[in-house]
Amino acid sequence: METLDGISTGRIDRLFAGIEAFVDPAFDGWTRTVFSPSYRAERSWMTEEFILAGLEGVRVDDFGNIVGILPGRYSDAKPIVIGSHTDTVERGGRFDGIVGVLGALEVAQRIKESGSVLNRPLMVIDFFGEEANPFGLTCLGSRALAGSLTVTDLERVSPEGKRLGDAMQSFGLDPSRAVSGKHPAQGSWHAYLELHIEQSSTLDQTGCNIGVVSAIAGIKRLVGRYMGQYDHAGGARMKTRKDALLAAASSALALHEFACGSPEYAVATTTHIDSLQLAQNVVPGRSELRAELRSTDSAWFGAIEKDLALRLSMRAAEFGCELDVEWFLDNEITHTDATLQETIAAASTSLGLTWTAVPSGATHDSVHMTGIAPMGMIFIPSIDGRSHCPEEFTPKKRHTQRHCGTRKKRPSGR
Ligand SMILES: [Zn+2]
């Protein structure tokens, strides 16, 4: 039997083998998208695993989340809550979210086996539908639990013309209860902790065992609409053109340079550029650019609209074009709780694990838990930083420390 630091990994190996049976054969990797038959079958299996793990009161809550409790000494004490999600993107990996749920089941069983009883209840959650879906709304279960899912959200329509509310109903959920169910009040949990893969390369490159998450990046998205002039591609001279597609392409480079020049963690991604016309003998007179920016730097994030509007307008003007930019705020920057950061770091050190403070560029269910409880996240390495792909991998064995010289570095507070 393989062991990790002298402890058998047989039980967690069995859980991973079990969940990997529930995949969509139409895709490579470990695909289990929300609302899919493979996800439905997996959730039925997972509910049984919650019971097998010795959790009590196992149920699917009003919001689609699987919940179970390891009772504590004082039943009325605020619970410690741990968990993550088990749905994946198409062509997804084996560990994103899954390690947090299977890890939480293992934690509950280890506590039971140790013979000790926590003062507080330990609640384990497998959140419903965390990943992106055709309805354009992530974190369905955690969002609903936090009371942030709205009646308007239920009216969102997929490209196939299906309503989100109808999709939830077909999946066996009551959409009206998902928006009106009883939400935990602010402060009603003692703490929320989520174990997750890093989905970036800091831990893998430095050889650190544990990432103490300092903050989860805020996300702003923009649509830039460029107005130039349609012209004959053969007749219009180069110096007189107002090429809206070139203005957008130049703006994509400006966005890239803007994020490269940020003082702290920041990324910018241009995802679409469209000339809005098909003829190959026409100078593009209109174009549209879509991009998103993420950062954990409050000052930089707060000034994005003003700073970028100027840069992008200058790029548009270089090509004789005008620009209209529309902004959408997806998430504000979410800071993890400073005391939980210290606790995770101290626990890592006491276990002989190296750690470093890291930002999270990806959004997680934990973002929605900050209104209910102090929130912390524990990252483990992703080999080569790969995630949302079949190559996503996290080894069971701990990393050999290479450049992780930050054991003394304190995690950052708010
Ligand atoms: Zn995830």
Residue 20 in this model has a pLDDT that exceeds 50: yes
pLDDT score, position 407: 44
Residue 78 Cα to ligand 1 midpoint, Å, equals 26
Q: Is 410 annotated for ligand binding?
A: no
Question: Residue 412: pLDDT band by 50, 70, 90 thresholds?
Answer: very low
Look at 235 and 9; give whichever has higher pLDDT.
235
pLDDT score, position 402: 55
Q: Is 62 annotated for ligand binding?
A: no
* Mean of pLDDT values over 44-62: 97
Residue 19 in this model has a pLDDT that exceeds 90: yes
* Mean of pLDDT values over 109-123: 95
Residue for token pair 């890093």: 198
Residue 34 Cα to ligand 1 midpoint, Å, equals 13
Residue 196 Cα to ligand 1 midpoint, Å, equals 7
Residue 130 Cα to ligand 1 midpoint, Å, equals 7
Residue 261 in this model has a pLDDT that exceeds 90: no
385-407: pLDDT as tens digits: 999 999 999 988 765 555 564 44
Q: Is 43 annotated for ligand binding?
A: no
Residue-range domains of the chain with CATH: 3-216+334-385 (3.40.630.10), 218-331 (3.30.70.360)
Give the whole-angstrom CA distance, residue 363 versus residue 341: 18
* Mean of pLDDT values over 29-35: 95
Q: Is 190 annotated for ligand binding?
A: no
Residue 256 in this model has a pLDDT that exceeds 90: yes
Q: Is 294 annotated for ligand binding?
A: yes
pLDDT score, position 3: 54
316-372: pLDDT as tens digits: 999 999 999 999 988 899 999 999 999 999 999 999 999 999 999 999 999 999 999
Q: Is 388 annotated for ligand binding?
A: yes
CB 372 within 8 A of CB 146: yes
Q: Extract long-range pairs of 251-258: CB within 8 Å, 24+ residues apart.
A: 251/224, 251/226, 251/289, 251/312, 251/315, 251/316, 251/323, 252/289, 252/291, 254/308, 254/311, 254/312, 254/315, 255/291, 255/293, 255/308, 255/312, 258/293, 258/307, 258/308, 258/311
pLDDT score, position 408: 40
* Mean of pLDDT values over 283-305: 94
- Provide, rounded to the nearest whole percent, the portion of the chain with pLDDT above 90: 88
pLDDT score, position 2: 54
Q: Is 368 annotated for ligand binding?
A: no
